[in-house]
Amino acid sequence: MKTAKFWLYIFLVGAGVVVGALVAELTAGVSFLSWLGYGLFFGTESPLVLDLHLFKLTFGISVKITVSSVLFIALSLILGRLILKKE
């Protein structure tokens, strides 16, 4: 049962991130909703490249956290608690 809860929360957080990013992109052009797209970007500017002559490996990570992503993650976790209470 604990693993089912874990995977439910992982799924809900992932869904919250995707929906939040979609809402941030869609509301970027709307003047009174543009604050949903405000966020922080952090990560590596240029990726780390390891050239071994036989093959080339490229490592890099970047994350953008927006207001709408945080809101939708919170909403999805609240929804998860409501789903688990009914069981």
Q: Which two tokens stand for residue 66?
A: 């927006």
| Cβ(59)–Cβ(50) below 8 Å | yes
The Cα–Cα gap between 79 and 85 comes to 10
Q: Which two tokens stand for residue 33?
A: 């909703």
> Where in the sequence is the domain holding 49, given as residue range(s)?
2-86
Interval 33-45: pLDDT, tens: 889 999 998 998 8
Q: Which two tokens stand for residue 40?
A: 């922080």
pTM across the whole model: 0.78
Interval 35-84: pLDDT, tens: 999 999 899 888 899 999 899 999 999 988 999 999 999 999 999 899 88
Residues forming a β-bridge with 42: 63
Total structural domains within the chain:
1
Q: What are the backbone dihedrals phi and psi of residue 85, each rounded to the nearest 5 degrees, phi first?
A: -70, -35
